[in-house]
Amino acid sequence: MTRVSRTSFDAIVAGAGPAGSTTAYRLARGGASVLLVDRARFPRDKPCGGAVTGRALRLLPFSIDPVVESVPDRFELRLRGERRGGQQLDSPFVWITQRRLLDAFLVEQAVAAGVRFEDGTRVGGVEETADGPVVELAGRSVRCRALIVAEGANGTTSRALGLAAPRLRNVALEGNASYERVPAQLDRRGFTIEIGTVSGGYAWVVPKRDHVNFGVGGWEREGPFLRDHLRRLCESFGTSLDDLSDLRGHRLPMGGLHTGRLARGRVLAVGDAAGLVDPFSGDGMYEAFLSGSLAAQATLDLLAARVRDLDAYDAAVRGHLAAGFDVSWLAKLALDRFPGLAYAVIRSGVGRRLAERALRGDEPSAAAERLARTGTALFRRLASDATLARAA
């Protein structure tokens, strides 16, 4: 990594995960001078199932084929450890990668588009001046006309700038077992989701090229029990917790749309830094790519003096995500209270096809749109922020 000597850029992007690197890529493609920084040295890993949904893939302006390890065509949904066998998918809806590979690949695309990248560089603070934000980077001050905060779940800059700071989080614990440690009959072409055991979430088993990823996640209060959930999951697959390497926990920030503005003046937050993980599916890469694309658009408008601030970004994100999140919150609460019913609905032909279509990013069917409308109306009648806070 070479430190840049320039003292000003059109845009600085803090954090080089999927949200930050794709925002930086789009800004550079739009003609902006961009500095992308990350406090970690790259390539770096990140606790994640590494499942990129079809709807997320569709948002990317380039293919990620070089870092895709498998494309499962079978899916098993389990209720409380009970095995029913996998179901054949009509067509794939997730592409499996490893975050160490994906994130480095996305940064490479950004650099090829003209972005200056510094890893091992932490954003220490931000001063907002009349000429734009001044960002503190390891003892240097670098000025920009717009700052994109993409620091993920553990960053502090969004909160410091008064942007959305999610109060609701899921926690997850995951680890990897090499194929020598799992029984030979494990279906390498399928992946498994188990519901009904971890409150506010689920357990997953995702086969990758040279290992299997086992994970569990749920409401924050599940934290102390995650190890036991993971142990039981491993045992039900004929392996043991002791056989997992790289055991790591991490947060999934949710509910950002309920906790404040995503943009103000010349600063905005994208991806996990804005609390945009889907409450039901727990995937955040779709939201990272989507918010990154909307952020780049708002920033290019600002840089071209078509607008005076980044405020339009907040409305754009809400316009794309709010209704779907309402349905997700409802589904999450329903899953918690009635896991057996949720299992039956998802496993039924109609439920499974609706979920598959949504995750694949297919045009919603009339039935899906009706369901979304009913879900949203029901959610708005039944739940408030306070209900959600109590549930968590």
Q: Which residue is nearest to ligand FAD (CB)?
A: 284
* Both structure tokens of 266: 């010349």
Identified binder of ligand FAD from the candidate list 11, 12, 13, 19, rule CB under 6 A: 19
Hunting for tokens 């349905």 — which residue is that? 327
Exposure string (b/e) for 142-154, b if CB count within 10 Å is 16 or more?
Answer: bbbbbbbbbbbbe
Q: How far is the CB of 102 from ligand FAD (least distance, A)?
A: 9
Structure-token match 């697959």, residue found: 237
Binding segment (CB under 6 A) for ligand FAD, from list 45-53, 125-133, 194-202, 234-242: 45-53
Site string for ligand FAD, 262-291 (x = CB under 6 A): ---------xxx---x-----xxx--x---
Q: Interface with ligand FAD by CB under 6 A: which range of 32-40, 235-243, 309-317, 384-392?
A: 32-40
> Binding to ligand FAD by residue 46, rule CB under 6 A?
yes
Contact between 158 and 239 under an 8 Å Cβ cutoff? The reply is: no
* Nearest residue (CB) to ligand FAD, 295 versus 310: 295
User: Counting contacts by CB under 6 A, is residue 49 touching ligand FAD?
Assistant: yes
Are 208 and 186 a contacting pair, CB within 8 Å?
A: no
Using CB under 6 A as the binding rule, whether residue 222 contacts ligand FAD is answered as no
Contact pattern from residue 180 through residue 219 relative to ligand FAD, giving x for each residue in contact according to CB under 6 A and a dash for the rest:
-----------------------------------x-x--
* 39, 211, 258, 332: which one binds ligand FAD (CB under 6 A): 39
Nearer to ligand FAD, 47 or 72 (CB): 47
128 touches 102 (CB < 8 A): no
42-54 exposure pattern, b = at least 16 Cβ within 10 A, e = fewer: bebebbbbbbbbb
The single-letter code of the amino acid at 131 is D
Contact between 226 and ligand FAD per CB under 6 A = no
Residue 68 Cα distances to 73, 98, 174, 250, 257, angstroms = 14, 8, 20, 23, 31
Among 9, 36, 50, 54, binds ligand FAD (CB under 6 A): 50
Largest CA distance in the chain: 63
Is the peptide bond preceding residue 364 cis, with omega within 30 degrees of 0? Answer: no
| Pairing outcome for strands 140-149 and 267-269 | parallel
Q: Is 110 in the site for ligand FAD (CB under 6 A)?
A: no
By CB under 6 A, is residue 72 in contact with ligand FAD? no
Footprint of ligand FAD on 281-340 (CB under 6 A):
283-285, 288
Q: Please, which residue, 252 or 257, has the CB nearer to ligand FAD?
A: 252
Q: Which part of the chain contacts ligand FAD (CB under 6 A), choosing from 16-24, 70-78, 106-114, 184-192?
A: 16-24
| Distance in Å, CB of 25 to ligand FAD, minimum | 13
Minimum distance, C-beta of residue 384 to ligand FAD, in the bound complex (Å): 25
**Strand blocks (E) in 19-108:** 34-37, 51-53, 68-70, 74-79, 87-88, 94-97
CA distance linking residue 210 with residue 14, whole number of Å: 32
324 CB-near residues (< 8 Å, 6+ apart): 278, 372
Do strands 132-137 and 116-118 pair parallel, antiparallel, or not at all (unpaired)?
A: unpaired
Q: How far is the CB of 382 from ligand FAD (least distance, A)?
A: 27
Nearer to ligand FAD by Cβ, of 196 and 284: the residue is 284
Rounded Cα distance between 376 and 84, Å, is: 32
Applying CB under 6 A, does 15 fall inside the site for ligand FAD?
yes
Q: Are strands 116-118 and 34-37 parallel, antiparallel or unpaired?
A: parallel
For 170, residues 6+ apart whose C-beta sits below 8 A from its C-beta are 200, 201, 217, 218, 219, 220, 251, 252, 254, 277, 282
Binding residue for ligand FAD, selected from 252, 290, 303, 331, defined by CB under 6 A:
252
Locus of tokens 């498998």 = 70
Measured from the CB atom, is 272 or 356 closer to ligand FAD? Answer: 272
Among 122, 320, 347, 352, binds ligand FAD (CB under 6 A): 122
Contact residues: ligand FAD, CB under 6 A: 14-20, 37-40, 46-51, 122-123, 150-153, 155, 157, 172, 174, 215, 217, 250, 252, 271-273, 277, 283-285, 288
